[in-house]
Structure 1
Amino acid sequence: MSLTPAEMDRWMDAHFGFEARDDVEGVLATLSEAAEHDIVGWPAGPTQGREGARPFYEQLFADLSGGKVTPLRRLYGDNFMVDDSVWSGRAPGAPFGVGGGDRALSFRLLHVVEFADDGAIRRENVWVDLGAIQQQLAAP
């Protein structure tokens, strides 16, 4: 059974909403039990399952705050979407290893997401514009 674009949007928007509230349990609930979670370039590499993704989100929520994701474009296929978005908020920690100093930050994200038939995210690949992060948070 294929999800409609509107159903995929609801799942992604819920996922991003939990991220905006730094709600680890909520984010993990949007993933399937056996989800593959891959933040390209993340030192720990891809993980499997909800609990495998937990350390990434715990670190992310320590490093970034007040985040809002604004989708720019979404492309849809059979139970998958490509989401091109902008994240904006503050960097109180060291996002992706770059000291934030609680400065304002904005960067592009590209998600390639596959959904299970029930709508849960079964595979999430994310590319982050690390160059923009480094440029904005570079010491003056």
Structure 2
Amino acid sequence: MEINGQTARSSSKAIWTGRILSGVVILFMLFDGGIKLVPLDIVMQANAQLGYPDSVNLARGLGVLGLVCTILYAMPRTSVLGAILLTGYLGGAIATQLRVGSPVFSHLLFGVYLGLMVWGGLFLRDERMRALIPFSR
């Protein structure tokens, strides 16, 4: 793709960095969604601490929602939609952490860190994103 006469191509290192960042997000979200599907005792305890009702169906619903968003993000044709949906999902997690007064850097901002990895990984690995949001040197 060309923007203002310049090619929006990225180096092989940038593409691999984007793939690794995206891979870390995908692996984390698959793990997170998977433990909510079971749901493990730790999930139910965490939900209770966050003020959610003690409901297996709620945990499973959140697990399915997270997994669907993650799968959409992992597939190249739907990765932008997946990133948008993951951003909303993480926004809900951030709002929940804020509501219960969680520690800022370890809990509250974890969703922000993950969101930055979602979009940073997508930007580095997807030429469409680099064309949409060109950074000049």
TM-score (ref. length: structure 2)? 0.31
Higher RCO by CA contacts (8 Å cutoff, separation 6 or greater): 2
Flag the structure with larger Rg.
2
Greater per-residue strand proportion: 1
Greater per-residue helix proportion: 2
